[in-house]
Chain A
Amino acid sequence: MYRYDEFDRTFVDQRVAQFRDQVRRRLEGELSEDEFRPLRLMNGLYLQLHAYMLRVAVPYGTLSAAQMRKLAHIARRYDRGYGHFTTRQNIQYNWPKLSETPDLLDELAEVEMHAIQTSGNCIRNVTADQFAGVAADEIEDPRIYAEIIRQWSSLHPEFSFLPRKFKVAVTGATRDRAAVKVHDIGLFIRRNAAGEVGFEVVVGGGQGRTPMIAKTVRSFVEKRHLLSYLEAIMRVYNQFGRRDNKFKARIKILVHEIGIEEFTRRVEAEWAEIRDGVLDLPADEVARIHAYFAPPAYEPEGEAAATLARQRLSDPAFNAWVRSNAVAHKQPGYAIANISLKPEGGVPGDATAEQMDAVADLAEQYSFSEIRVTHEQNLVLPDVRQDALYELWQALDAQGLATPNLNLVTDIIACPGLDYCSLANARSIPIAQRLSRRFADLKRQHDIGELRIKISGCINACGHHHVGHIGILGVDRKGEEYYQITLGGSADEDAAIGKIIGPAFSSAEVVDALEAIVETYLRVRREGERFIDTYGRVGAEPFKEVLYAAA
């Protein structure tokens, strides 16, 4: 894992000291709320529906066991005993006290964490494939480049006041698990015809009220040019992005308005000025960062696979968990173990302090002390020996963390919605809870197969509803909670924006409507088709018919 250098440490410590002073001045009356608000937001502290909310950055979703244990401690000591993992691979605390935030941030800094750039019009926490470094389908570990981008973009003076917030995602795998194409900039690590590794750069993706899929600006950028190319994009955006209208300020609008050809022309012109300059990325610098992400000391495969096969045969419940939650690892004898934070009736993404401590312990015991946070609001132990999965599963089960539903109908993304968010139109979490109860039967879930349901409480789309196979958007109809359903969205390498199926449903109707959609799929699907495949083949009609026929 990456460890802070002198610069990182000094900077984060200084920032906490500054914020401590700012909080003191606020509480003593030297700063008004108008003066203080931008300062607290620069440190990830929002004022939400019920209280302050602190968003802590988890760079590219990677955590050590010690960091997870600290997050548990913070939940217990400074909050109400739990935290909420978000679609940006971060964690949010819903109840911190302003007066205690400086101490909280000091404690975070002890484990090299902070809440900087989790808010505001800057380059936000860079996200990455949660299986980075261990995926069987990976060219290179994307975290190396996510870390390089983090260092380049942290406190970059030119990019601290962008027209709007800016999100970057990186993957090194062929399957996109990081929703790369709905980011302002997305990077796919690619190998060119000559066998060199570089990046396909896509720009202008995003969700919110104007959802768009990113377009390719350059199909191959050499590694050494990564930062100069990104800087060229940022400069074009900074210069031409709209600052007059908040809703038109994201880079996707600029790309859309001037067209990808013109946008590319401007980027290339800018790049011609700065390439081969100070931003050139020397190979030894890449190697230096690479060393932080060196694979752990894997043991020989031995009997691991055979042991696992035997245990699966003897315990059907374990077998079900392995089938859905364990994923192929690049190292023989190892597996990637996914920890679902979507138990039946639970709050997607919530974990108690006890669960966080347990995951930290299990990471130490079974996964070289490493943990990942996924944008789908689950956790991952990336490096588990196949013959240790059985013990791990039993330990997870004791903590309510062994729900075998990865990528299934109850593995639902839900934003905080009106339960916690002051911008919400409607609640998201209770819909997820009701759906998870309705589809609780595991046999049925496996029969339905891969199905991504994503729920947002307003058009800001933090719950990624636009790219759900089935998306649910909360709307306010004369003070009543209503839910608009979209079908056909996708967040992977075949990214697509879902289409609205028809008039919205009341809170009382929406779960039945979802079930009717699923039943229709089961009726019309062909052998081997996932929901999204069937939708692609038959379109919206059969679903519309069952939903609105009576009307």
Chain B
Amino acid sequence: MSAPCGRMASRSLFQFLSTFGRTALGNSGLRHFSGTSARRVTAQSKVETERASSPWTLVAAVCLRRLPVISADCSPIEEEVRGMLQQVEFEKSILSDHELRLLDDTERMTRKQAEDYDSDEEDVRKDQEIVLTQDLEDSWEQRMKTFQPAERFRDDVDKDLTSLERCLDSSLLLLAEQEVGGEKMWLLPQTQWQGGETLRQTAERALASLPAAAFKATFLGNAPCGVYKYKLPKAARTESTVGTKVFFFKAILSDDSPPADPNASLLWVKKNELQRYLKPAYLMKVEPFIIGL
């Protein structure tokens, strides 16, 4: 813990000195700069020495999620309770202005139809045209009918696993078919870690390197959300590589992402469809951090 603290302290001290003018503390500032760069070089080599000693290869994968676009349908009990609450709300309410107008209109109609009707008794607004509330309601209905909303569920699109528009009421995960150890399999897009970058940057690279797809995503934090480690078969094991550790990073697909062309090697699946594509051991490690559907 002390080593990184020292590094951070020296870096902040350098910034502090540089703001006070390099001319005044020219020499000492330069000395500090060389000090931090030297320390940074040693840090990188330290990582490499650390990595060289460890027998695990590091791989970062991205768990890209498209959040739901429309609200899901209610379950039966939810529907019942919703209906009941609406009824209760209606019973406890009082008449609104619009409803009062409706009642007034009906009353006036009944009075007009009565035989002993005297139009002078009523305070007729001669300059104002009396618009019946019912007519207003009808005109609103007509305007509503002219608007056609988009369909909520489209079966043909739902069945197409490569389309981003499928199953709009649930969140979808991106799966890619990648080659691992000479075998092609479906997994969350991943790529190997390279020296000099953090694991999150590796995950961003994994997303960017997907074929023919420019996804704009927001990565949720620098920390991985899950890990899957596997050992290579005994034949492939060497002294330096025993197995691989795959670290997963969560990301959310942005709203303004450009529409991707349907690509056969990329799939958008719901959580309950994952078991068709992922290996069981892998799925066991991936399922916990996919919260929800």
User: Do A and B make up one complex?
Assistant: no
Q: Which residues of A does B touch, CB under 8 Å? A: none
